[in-house]
Structure 1
Amino acid sequence: MSAAPIHPVDEVLPLRRLLPFGLQHVLVMAASPITAAFLVSRALDLPTAVTVDLISATFLVCGIGTLLQSFGPLGIGAKLPFIMVPGGAPIVLFVTIARQTDLATATGAVILTGLFYLLALPVFRRCLRFFPRLVVGTMLILVSVNLIAIYGGIITGRPGTPGFGDPGNLGLAIATILLTVLFVRLLPGMFGQLAVLLGLLAGAAIALVTGAMNLGGVFDGPLLGLPTPFPFGMPHFNLVAALPLVLFSIISMAEATSQTVAISEAVGREGDARKTVPHTILGDAVASLLGGCLGTSLIITSGENIGIVQATRVRSRYVTAVAGAMLVLIAFLAPLGRLANAIPAPVVGGTAIIVFAIIGVMGVELLRKVELKDNRNLFIVAVALAFGLLPILVPGLFGKFPPMAQIILGNGLAMGTLSAVVFNILFHHLGRREAPSPAETLPLPAAEANHAD
């Protein structure tokens, strides 16, 4: 009797392939931990030593979280090729809470939110039927547009500043994009699959030659970076102060749902999301709790690497496990973190824009499987995109609303997802007697799908 074939997700690739593919994931996401630490540091005027400690802590938690999602020990993690990063919105909320109260209260808010994940998970599990392809596809498009807007800003700088729209920065980003496409077109086999990594390295090489990249500070400072537990003192738990982050965690769970469905389709493991999503969220909860103890904001599952999986067709979760191990190594070896930080923002931004645009294409592909000739589905997508794109395309649109309202209204992903879910329930669940349409179902495992036929 022959052994059952190994699914590509569970395939252990040779080390000569694991290392470069893992490094590709790391370099694409490395800007997120560094940017998160610097954003918190600059917003709160933290000392340089604390900033370095936060960078180390963020890399460490991202690495541990990625290992959890890749291996799924004790059901903590989805056993899928996920990378974890500090969420953008949680960082802003963390800073806001710290400014309104203090850093110890902000740290306590992160820990309380991690505990809320665990308490809310059984309830959220029962709500997964309200996140069909119709909702998930719309959400992925909004994720793509939101991330492109963020990294586009990293390339161009802030409007009104002297460096805004600098031709040199734009040229670096465009060169990185074009070189990546060129590598996809010309390079065979594994090298073509590494086009994202090679494009980023080529962009960095151009930056080094033109003087836009400086390696002078890479070996300055200590060799080891050891994160400090509770760097802001023992946490202070204030439920009222933590409310913004707790509210965001509900949105984060919805986002984790869409990402789990998307990565499952990308790797060809369209398992029952009702079983897989809770494991993803449990990994987010544990990583966020650990992050709170080390002074970071929420560390959550990222859509950033889904585009890489789709572009390279390398589906092994052991690749992201290697990436997780590399992130842990970076956390302890300070020069590696400084080297990642030395890559110019326009180069990272150019690479990121390609990857994030692929996520949008995946959303379009999901919506292609939805019957959009049905006016109900057409209007659900249209209204969700309208509510979701407005805050992204018109920043500050809800700036005059109360701060609590801005948490939802000013977050395009939150508004779009909430709109899609509410209108999907209105049109497809309330008062319905007929069988659900394909738009309302999550992917089933192959065995279940065949049985259903």
Structure 2
Amino acid sequence: MRPRSGAGPGHQNACATLYGAFRLYSGKIDQRRNAPMRKPADLAYGLDDRPPLRVLLTAALQQTAIIVVFIYPAILIGRAVDAPPREAAAILSLTFLTCGLSTLLQAFGRGGFGSGFLAPGSAAGGFLAPSLLAAQNGGLPMVAGMTMAAGAATLVFARMLRRLRAVLPPEIAGTVALIIALVIALTGVRLLMHGPEGEPPTARGLFVAAVTLAVAGGLSVWGKGMLRWTCVLVALAVGSLVALALGETDSRASVDLATIPLVGLPQLGHIGYDFDIALLPAFLVTALAAAVRSVGLLTTLQKINDADWVRPDQRSIAGGVSGDGVTILIAGLLAAPAANMSTTNITVQGATGITSRIIALGTAGACFLLACFPRAAALLAQVPAPVIAAILLQAGAQMMVNGMQLATSRMLDARKTLAIGLAFITALGVAILPEMRDLVAPSWRPLVSEIALGTIVAIGLNALLRIGIRRRVSLTVPGDAIDEKAVADFATRAGASWGARPDVVARTTELVSWCLDAIIDARLARGDITVTLAFDEFRLDVLVAYHGAPIELAAAPPSPEELLQDDGAGARLAGHMIRRRASRATVRHRDGLTELRLVVDH
């Protein structure tokens, strides 16, 4: 209702209350716009916190232990090329060196390289299949050359992410994270249920896995202080001790420790490079799948570290994928297996509540130290299979929840539902029917994996189904009345059909109501008012058109005195709130037609 001149004391109090509420509300808007990343309550030490030295050391040891556990691609590639002991030790040492460099680059990189998060690197299991294929065709030099090509491709993909963000929205990144979680969990199940020679699981192995999972999960849920912060490390130690006591010590990638030097700097005599164009498609698609995987992991990291997270930070994601590209390139130059940010290392941060990037210093230092003690590193890598399986099951469960939250962070329409559902079913189908790989040529089989094929389907379907995604809907309301419910229903139906975020739809509904209230209250319109909404994935456009005088988007709010004395002050207050609340707001008046255009960033 418009304020009237000559109003009584009751109306003056109402105006004063309205003005005070406006000042408080606008102050909250400014706080939200200018607020830094807010640490969630369940994090003990957030991204910029500096934990005590004992916490830093134990957390770094835990992160390093996970890197050690998943160093097996380096061992397997050394076996595939029939490397002599010193060369096998060099491959192992250089992989640890690469992981340490990756950890530092992701946490503290500059110039567009590095995500700014604690994202330790580990040997990339996703590159194992094409790397083994390259090893069969040309030995270690072929692995090195093709890995370098994959690193260069990853750098190109990182530079294209901003342009490709339309086909990589949060729900697709969440789907990829969900597929990764599925692969991690199924890997744990296979490792637990099938021995090295395909034999069935033993009661001792199942018991070791159950103890490990109980310790890791129990400490992450009920543990306090140091016990929670080191839940994975404690579980690895307890599980390994139980396995040792029961004689369940077989590993999936055992090595003869006597053939590995005790101490020494990494040897570089084995380094050489080769290239085969026939293998390039497999490495390129694997690099693309790894880049999309990193997008999902980095989005998860952003969500873990920011209580007010609403959308991915594209700059951090591009920097993180670029950091992975540099890491893979360095691995190729050193003739070591490809490495990139580790899913398990990222996942345990949510369980432990420690995400401080300072821990990257201790983790990288431990990796550099292990690079100089190859026998100790190889010994630590002999973690029993049931223990690894339990850790994978916990990491898969944690990642699956994060992936589901990301995939459903928006209102899903038929397009997104189809893309997400079919991508997940494709990944599950490959996991259930691995013989599907036999349907393609050997050089293409690395592409028929859960993550690679599921990612391709998710991205491809999302891109295809974007055809016609920019749509417009209109609503006409009388210029002398407004039906609040009709406006709310109109915006809600449109937002649901587009798959927009619920909070953006609510904000748009609020803005449209303010606009109509101000126009009708000030009697600006002559005839009907038309409201048009348009959506293109990244923003929601609002066009309010009517014949009549333009609404004023005041730069400053009216004073309490103006609200009491000026009949148009109420409309100016509404116009000022519209200007502040919208991401962008403009008014155009020509030939008697007024067009108010608002943009709400999505």
The 3-state SS of whatever aligns with 1:93 is helix
Distance in 2 separating the partners of 1:131 and 1:264:
16
Cα pair 1:67 1:325 within 8 Å, conserved: no
Q: 1:87-107: CA deviations, max 9, x gaps?
A: 223122112022123332221
After alignment, is 173-182 or 353-362 more displaced? 173-182
Distance in 1 separating the partners of 2:370 and 2:538:
37
Deviation at 1:122, TM superposition (A): 2.4
The 1:449–1:101 alpha-carbon spacing in structure 2 relative to 1, beyond 3 Å, is farther
Alignment of 1:8-407 (within 5 A): 8-33=46-71, 35-158=72-195, 161=197, 163-213=199-249, 222-229=261-268, 231=270, 233-268=271-306, 270=309, 272-372=312-412, 374-407=413-446
Deviation at 1:115, TM superposition (A): 2.2
- Equivalent position amino acid for 2:61 in 1: L
Q: Indicate the percent of aligned positions where both proteins have the same amino acid.
A: 22
- Equivalent position amino acid for 2:261 in 1: P
Deviation at 1:363, TM superposition (A): 0.8
Distance in 2 separating the partners of 1:416 and 1:228:
39
Distance in 2 separating the partners of 1:213 and 1:449:
62
Deviation at 1:244, TM superposition (A): 1.8
The 1:250–1:390 alpha-carbon spacing in structure 2 relative to 1, beyond 3 Å, is same
The 3-state SS of whatever aligns with 2:343 is coil
Q: Once superposed, what is the RMSD of the aligned Cα atoms? A: 3.1
Q: 1:376-434: CA deviations, max 9, x gaps?
A: 332222111111211122212231222344333x1121222222222223334545235
Alignment of 1:419-438 (within 5 A): 419-434=457-472, 437-438=499-500
Q: 1:306-353: CA deviations, max 9, x gaps?
A: 221111221211123322221121111234313412332221221222
Deviation at 1:5, TM superposition (A): 9.3
Distance in 2 separating the partners of 1:221 and 1:424:
49
- Equivalent position amino acid for 2:388 in 1: V
Deviation at 1:188, TM superposition (A): 1.9
Unaligned regions of 5+ residues in structure 1, if any? none
* Rg larger for: 2
Q: 1:55-98: CA deviations, max 9, x gaps?
A: 11111111111111111233321111102122223122112022
- Equivalent position amino acid for 1:16 in 2: R
Q: 1:365-384: CA deviations, max 9, x gaps?
A: 22332324x33332222111
Equivalent residue pairs, number: 442
The 1:166–1:107 alpha-carbon spacing in structure 2 relative to 1, beyond 3 Å, is same
Cα pair 2:85 2:259 within 8 Å, conserved: no
The 3-state SS of whatever aligns with 1:360 is helix
Cα pair 1:63 1:323 within 8 Å, conserved: yes
Cα pair 2:185 2:395 within 8 Å, conserved: no
After alignment, is 417-426 or 180-189 more displaced? 180-189
The 3-state SS of whatever aligns with 2:354 is coil
Cα pair 2:176 2:296 within 8 Å, conserved: yes
The 1:187–1:250 alpha-carbon spacing in structure 2 relative to 1, beyond 3 Å, is closer
- Equivalent position amino acid for 1:228 in 2: Q
Unaligned regions of 5+ residues in structure 2, if any? 1-34, 40-45, 251-255, 473-494, 502-535, 540-579, 584-599
Q: 1 or 2 for the larger relative contact order (CA 8 Å, sep ≥6)?
A: 1
Deviation at 1:37, TM superposition (A): 1.8
The 1:349–1:431 alpha-carbon spacing in structure 2 relative to 1, beyond 3 Å, is closer
Cα pair 1:132 1:442 within 8 Å, conserved: no
Distance in 2 separating the partners of 1:431 and 1:222:
60
Cα pair 2:220 2:352 within 8 Å, conserved: no
Deviation at 1:221, TM superposition (A): 5.6
Distance in 2 separating the partners of 1:5 and 1:146:
31
Deviation at 1:170, TM superposition (A): 2.0
The 3-state SS of whatever aligns with 2:437 is coil
Structure showing the higher helix proportion among its residues:
1
Distance in 2 separating the partners of 1:225 and 1:157:
36
Q: 1:277-334: CA deviations, max 9, x gaps?
A: 2211111111112111222232112222222111122121112332222112111123
